[in-house]
């Protein structure tokens, strides 16, 4: 049985939160090599045609945020907040389509000014018909939404500013 996208994403999260610089894993015809330093890439190869190779950055989140933060900060009126040191950013853990509401008929998860607690759903990201709920990583108030509904987002791209 090949690894699913969510399983690969979970492995990347575990490695990212650890002190490991490199992890090599081979399971049932799938080989994963994750390097934190140097190339900072995740490489997946498989002998099964059902699983496509996955490539994403496993480098520290500050490196991944730098280019995305400058592009996203200009799209919000809260540009000064994006640079404030006491403001927390919630970044995308994957590449996919950003949605602000669970379905087109339902209200948005959060808007600017919404008070959130840790674990409060903020948005969903769709990857190949797989929907992942992104939750608040800290308590506070939403000060900026840095992505637009239906927009493609990148790994590490800031999505929300929580103060």
Query: pLDDT-based confidence at 151, cuts 50/70/90?
Result: very high
Q: What is the pLDDT of residues 88-123, one digit of tens each?
A: 899 999 999 999 999 889 999 999 999 999 999 999
**Domains of the chain listed by start with CATH number:** 5-46 (no CATH), 61-162 (2.40.50.100)
Spatial contact of 18 and 58, defined as CB atoms under 8 Å apart? no
Model pLDDT, residue 71: 40
- Of the candidate ranges 1-5, 13-17, 76-80, 97-101, the one whose mean pLDDT is the lowest: 76-80
Nearest to 139 by CA among 156, 160, 115: 115
**pLDDT in the model for residue 1:** 56
Instruction: Give residues with Cβ within 8 angstroms of 99, minimum separation 6.
Output: 123, 124, 125, 126, 131, 149, 150
pLDDT in tens, 36-91: 654 444 444 444 444 444 444 444 444 444 444 444 443 444 444 444 444 689 99
**Res 150: pLDDT:** 93
| Residue 78 to residue 49: CA distance in whole angstroms | 45
Assessment of whether the complete model's pTM goes beyond 0.85: no
For residue 159, is pLDDT > 60?
Answer: yes
Say what the pLDDT of residue 37 is: 57
Q: What's the pLDDT at 105?
A: 92
Query: Closest Cα partner for 84 from 142, 145, 140, 163?
Result: 163
Q: What CA–CA distances, in Å, run from 113 to 102, 103, 117?
A: 19, 21, 13
């Amino acid at each position: 049985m090949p690894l699913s996208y969510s399983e690969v994403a979970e492995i990347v999260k575990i490695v990212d939160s650890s002190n490991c610089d490199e992890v090599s894993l081979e399971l049932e015809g799938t080989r994963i090599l994750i390097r934190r330093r140097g190339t900072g890439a995740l490489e997946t190869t498989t002998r099964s045609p059902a699983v496509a190779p996955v490539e994403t950055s496993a480098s520290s989140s500050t490196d991944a945020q730098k280019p995305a933060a400058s592009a996203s900060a200009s799209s919000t009126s809260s540009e000064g907040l994006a640079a404030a040191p006491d403001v927390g950013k919630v970044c995308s853990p994957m590449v996919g389509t950003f949605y602000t509401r669970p379905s087109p008929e339902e209200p948005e998860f959060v808007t600017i000014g919404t008070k959130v607690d840790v674990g409060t759903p903020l948005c969903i990201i769709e990857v190949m018909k797989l929907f992942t709920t992104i939750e608040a990583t800290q308590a506070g108030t939403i000060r900026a939404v840095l992505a637009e509904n239906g927009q493609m987002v990148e790994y590490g791209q800031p999505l929300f500013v929580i103060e």
